[in-house]
A and B are shown apart, each in its own frame.
Chain A
Amino acid sequence: MATDADNRSLKQAKWTPYILSFPGLLCLYLFFIVPMVTLLKIALSVRPDANSSKLDFAWEWSNFSKAFTDFGEQLWRGLGYAAVATVLCVLIAYPIAYFIAFKAGKWANLMLGLVMVPFFTSFLLRTIAWQSLFADTGPVLSIADALQLTGLLDALQITTNGRIMNTPTAVIGGLTYNFLPFALLPIYVSLDKVQVGLIDASYDLYNNFPNTFRKVIFPLSLPGVFAGTLLTFIPAAGDFINAALLGNPNTPVIGGVIQARFLRAGDYPTASAISFVLMAMITVGVLLYAKFLGTEDLT
């Protein structure tokens, strides 16, 4: 690989890359690594006096078990909503990404641009827009009513007593909507890389479309599905905006618990421990998922 020109510029540049990257890496170290260590330290601390915010470090592992026993329900709820929303995101994103990659032709760039537009509109207002859409007299329920679907939706527990607002459906709907572009873009990138020659070869060998899709296209798009799943699931698992704006106030998710523990209750050790438990569970989930897909070398 190394040509003479390469070697010369490398010799000149022995220290250059370290100098160039130092400020950025220092910033990541100081404001990402150090805070994580601080969070862990506080998760292992005790608060000797409930009226003061002073903390003592004490290897207090009980904060972690407390996180599970006291907030297990909210933890599972948050992870459950995120898991359902992620599955829906991939199911909706895949056909659109497939269309843009294989069918859109010269319109592909325009469609990708359109998919990005929601990114540039306030996350909160998009979620508030769903309040209007899901409202009791809003368009979603009116359409369901016109199609005589209300009874069926209630029976399927998609609506509760004819309502969508303040139900799990509303929260999952909001999450699915807000994170859909995160699933779509990586799936599109991996589909776009699939060589058309491979697909043609499969047809030439008398494979029909389902077989071609199952044996050629889908396996090649797995890296994108993997990346899209992570980019959707990780932020969705910690999100509490959708739960706060669309969900039932009596069924908070874990993200909301963490924020409230920190900013309102002032119970920093428990809150830090819950944060760590959330991150650990997400990491375990991601590793299991990577093993299941057989895609360890994707990152």
Chain B
Amino acid sequence: MILSTNRAALVVAFVLLPALASAQTVSGTVTDASSGQPIPGATVVVLASTIGVRTDVDGGYEIELPPGQRRLEYSFVGYRTETVTVEPGQTVVDVALEEDLLGLDEVVVTGLGTSVKRSNSAISVETISARELSEVTTPQTLDGALNGKITGAVVNSNSGAPGGGINIRLRGITTINGNSQPLYVVDGVIVSNDAVSNGTNAVSEASGGGNASSQDNPVSRIADLPAEDIESIEVLKGPSAAAIYGARASNGVVVIRTKSGAAGRTEVSLSQTVGVASIQRTLGSRQFTAATAEATYGPAGLAAFNAAGGRTFDLEEELFGNDGLLLTTNLSVSGGNDRTQFYVSGIVKDDEGIVAGTGYEKQSGRINLTHRLSDLFEVDANANYVRSVANRGITGNDNSGATFGVGLLATPSFVDLRPGADGEFPDNPFNAANPLQTRDLATIEETNNRFFGSGKATVNLLTSATQSLQLIGVGGVDYYALDQANLFPVQLQFEPDDELPGTSSLGRTTNLNTNVQLLAVHAYAPEGRDLSFTTQAGLTAFDQEFDNVLTVSRGLIPDQQNLNLASSIQTNQNRFFQNDRALFAQEEVSYRDAVIATAGLRVERSSANGDVSDYYAYPKAGLALNLTNLGVLEGGAVDLFKLRAAFGQTGNTAPFGSKFTTFGTSTIASNAGLVLEGRRGFAGIEPERATEFEGGLDLTLFGGRVNLEATAYTKVVDNLILDRQVEPSSGFTIETFNGGQLRNNGVELGLSLVPVSTDLVQWISRTSFWANDAEITELTVPPFQAIGGGFGNTLGSIRIEEGRSPTQIVGTDEDGEVVALGDVSPDFQMSFFNDIAIARRLRLTVFGHWKKGGDNINLTELLSDLLGTSPDFDEDNDGDGTADGLQRLDASGARRFVQNASYFKLREVGLYYDVAPSLFGPLAGGLRTLRVGVSANNLFTITPYKSYDPEVSNFGSSPVASGVEVAPFPSSRTFNVHVRVGL
């Protein structure tokens, strides 16, 4: 609700001022132009004043014009805004509003307490509506629903495991070692998007080899927030838009507004989705002969091959071939009266994954309330409790053979791993684990209980015909308690290997985010002038306390899970905190809605900085020139022609611990020892600073049928927080410091069209294009491998090097020289959104996404070659008599692992039909609307990439190092059937 306070202020202002009624009174009705139905709740304001009213339930209004003011503006969400000049003596003005098919008149965020119409904005702000987010198909998690929908973003799913886990980079690379994910703000509250490792490293031992990351693809916790409750998402992509969020906003800000009720009839909506998920793409497996079995696996291979007697067994199908049932039920009730509005929803989701036993469940309950105590005082309260359960299995890299992926790759097709008649699983002779046994007997489950709550109080301290002053206080909490319980029972093939059969682990994480924000907003519109001013100033306080305890017990008493029923118990606790305090002020000046200038400053200090008392300043400025409103380019085909330019700075505070040099503990023979950790702290650590210049033009033509938005930006990040590998002979391996610079240049183009708009057919089309070019322009240290950036030069790694892209892949070539081999970042991306409505009842939506360029390091293929199971191992494409698999193994250098990961994905398709009320029959009394539909997700993918999915990241949401693939959880395709009933 914070977004529209300025307008609310204007509305309230009117109510106070009956005494000023010396002037003309105007009344009338606001209706929908196409249906003729009245529009209740539409806003009518007197331009260049602070006077406004809302229409009643019949669309009626009455407003008094102060002397000298004649222009009225009519607006409502989803409709184009109309401006009418009242003739002298005219007392009745009826207005029919046209539908805003392209979203041209929606409001966008410009301040913590203010918003502005898109047509007046100096910055490009991406808005994703509920319709685009969750109504084409049913997304499993919020993060997945964003993919491809943000112009200017590189969004990458880390794996196909149920429950989310995504890497979002807005406008290129903004950090090498800091947090790289955007800030998420829900109803004014900064919420947690932590990713907590699930403890499976205890058996996968993934961190024990070439890379210290546990590589378990944790869930990004923003996935907890139910997409179905979201009204809209605004994405502040760069510093020029995000500067108001200061020191944590360099990666952009995702501002989420949840749904709210409207005065009038109580609306009840019940929807049910039933779907099925299946593997999107299979790889197959090598078919052996006695000779190849022996050549690859020796005598043991030959014996096993002969024992199989020619039978083969499709382990991939057995492991990843589950058809997962997807169920989502959503009930929402909303409504209210003039003073109180409410939105209540309950969501139950139960999705199975493509691996039997995996899945994702969610139960959510939300209440959003708005209450006006008086004309002076208004309160909002939002509360959301979410419980989610994810069973994601165990996939990705390991050093123990325990994961599904490595187990699959290690097992030749003549080995049958299914249980025998006695129900006992056979040992896998070619791997430490039988992945089917692990799948069926192990438990890998994370359960999160989370509460989002926020409250807002608005006080209208002062209102007059020319001025208003509001005080706004916002407070919020986001608390979660995450349990990650894993059980690997003694029966598992690999469990006895460490002589401590049976592993039980429990990770307990609690995290509390608290937010307080106080601000004053002053609006001033001098009488008879065309200028208006909006001033705001305030302070914010943000606190986070994170506490993770992981206990791993080995040597379990059979059939037991309790951590104490074991012979070896290891516990590790990790805590972090952050305290940020900021002061901010902003001024917006508008001249006839034609020239809109904004300037603002935020100063902020943080516990993450070396000196916690230092303030860091983040300024911003913007200028929008609406040439149409200026009288230039008015009339004809042009509805709007706007030029805009903006500048802003944001920060990115250092990751927790950067300033400390700390001892860890290491016990030997029951004596507790202290060992210096590998990180050398830097006591003077400062935030990174991103500076952005953005310019663009917005052009609307032909009565709102064509809209072009073009933006170019250059974003420079200075004072980078770099985690460099220090010379290990110092005894440390990593040191954080500030230095260096990187630059992103990019363009974003959005073309929205309404090619057909008749009563029968209405077609809305939106095509976006975006490209970003990043370069490290200054690096004060020698080149280094990005943290999490692969496994060294022989397998390809992501190297930070001056003059190069921060996502470049280097590796050894055929001669052992380290050379550039590729780049993870794409050349450009495009998205295609088409929405065709027939007779306003049948609606087809198709959403496609094209990523051109960008490479992955495909180590799945390497492992399958090494383990002798690549499906094309025995092919001989170059006809030289040597099998391709052998040839790949013998080839030296990392070049063969670096593969083009371009793709085109038909991400979402939905077809819905609104049943005409005349067909409701006996239900006509109770039923208001009935919608039925079908949809599909990831219907197909076209890619040259040789694995399950070109979207992959073994290292999760690491800042630059996505695009490394090691035996991942394959991605899925879903088909859904939907029914929605409105009562």
Decide whether A and B are members of one complex.
Answer: no
Binding site for A on B (CB under 8 A): none
